[in-house]
Structure 1
Amino acid sequence: MEARDTPAIPTQEDIIIGRPYYAAFNNNNNNNNNTSSFMSGTTLLSSLFPPHHDRELSAAADASKNHREAEKRRRERINSHLQRLRSLLPCNSKTDKASLLAKVVEHVRDLKQRTSDDIAKCTDVLPSETDEISVLHVVGRHHRLNQRSVYKATLCCEDRLDLLPELIKTLKSLRLKTLKAEMSTLGGRARNVLIIAGEEEEEEENSIGFVREALKSVVDRSNGSGYRCKRRRVLDQRSI
């Protein structure tokens, strides 16, 4: 079998079909041809595309696979959170994402408004740091109860053990009946809100003045007693 001379550099056709070729090598510049070296099509492609190129392709494939798996897990987490929101809000399971998120925003705004209202209410029932006395004529369902004047008295002062007994004694001396009473204490301070009614019809201005002066005397005794509650700053609200 005659050896076919094949160029040392393969042609484009050789590369495409993987045709084997022979490479002749001249040894010591003599005319004797050494044994031709045979290279298969696979060896040819391997020589043209070195191993490091295959490693790069493998690394790119692994990175793409990891990205797809991470994206899948991310979507699963999002769908899980959306499903939890659907279970918390009054909506069905087929509500689209945009409508669901709109409901969530509306619900959060409503909760913030309720929280602000509750904080405002708590502020109204907490005792102030300074002594305060307020007596107002009540206009409402208690107004002119059996032709009697009804008042709302509010006082803030130092908390002490004999505060309530003194308030009761003072109201009895003014012939006033307690319809409702609320008391809150915080950090040694007390706040009392009293709904009181006179036992007989009296002039409004005179009655308010008498009640204010009587409560002021109770507050002044609190300041002069030298007693200060050492309890912790914990809110204690009681209704009578």
Structure 2
Amino acid sequence: MSSIRFGTDKATLLAKVVQRVKELKQQTLEISDSDQTLLPSETDEISVLHYGDYSNDGHIIFKASLCCDDRSDLLPDLMEILKSLHMKTLRAEMVTLGGRTRSVLVVAADKEMHGVDSVHFLQNALKSLLERSSKSLMERSSGGGGGERSKRRRALDHIIMV
């Protein structure tokens, strides 16, 4: 009887090891995918996706990505936008490289105030943030040089996904 029980325990242990290896492989894929998508690009980009159905606590989840020139007022502006839309940040990843920054936010909105169509509200708010940023950069760079934009500044190229 003990050999049967030992065999079952061994099989159970092996099944747990196989499951854990699969989980680790999946985590590795997710990490490598997020590293590549987190690097800032040369163009301004916005991406807002419905991330999932309602969470257990009655919130709808969105994933928003914003890539633009790095500036000191970006975080306060992002926080103000989320506050005005009554959304809270669940997770944030931000990378700055060469004067450019990419912010990836997972945000939650109360399902009684928001629906899946709230993607458009968040997109428009982020688009407005990028346009304000472009305008202020143009004003700063036009101070002494005839209104030309700086070399680092690229044309506003919004990539919006639903």
TM-score bracket, normalised by the shorter chain, equals: 0.5 to 0.7
Q: 2:126 aligns with which of 215, 220, 229?
A: 215
- Opposite residue 197 of structure 1, the aligned amino acid is A
Unaligned runs of 5+ in 2: 1-29, 142-162
1:184·1:192 contact (CA, 8 Å) conserved in 2? yes
Q: 1:192 aligns with which of 64, 81, 103?
A: 103
Match of 1:122 in 2: 35
* Secondary structure at the counterpart of residue 203 of structure 1: coil
RMSD between aligned residues: 2.4
2:40·2:95 contact (CA, 8 Å) conserved in 1? yes
Unaligned runs of 5+ in 1: 1-116, 229-240
* Secondary structure at the counterpart of residue 133 of structure 1: strand
TM-score with structure 1 setting the length: 0.42
Match of 2:157 in 1: none
Find runs of 4+ consecutive structure 1 residues off by over 2 angstroms. Answer: 117-123, 199-203
Per-residue deviation, 1:224: 1.6
CA–CA separation in structure 2 for the residues paired with 1:121 and 1:217 = 26
Q: Which has the larger radius of gyration?
A: 1
CA shift in 2, pair 1:121/1:180, >3 Å: closer
CA–CA separation in structure 2 for the residues paired with 1:190 and 1:223 = 14
Deviations 1:164-221 (A, max 9, x none): 000000100000011111110111111000010113432212x000000001111112
Q: In the comparison of the two structures, how many residue pairs are matched?
A: 110
TM-score with structure 2 setting the length: 0.61
Per-residue deviation, 1:121: 4.7
- RCO comparison, higher one (Cα < 8 Å, 6+): 2
- Opposite residue 203 of structure 1, the aligned amino acid is G
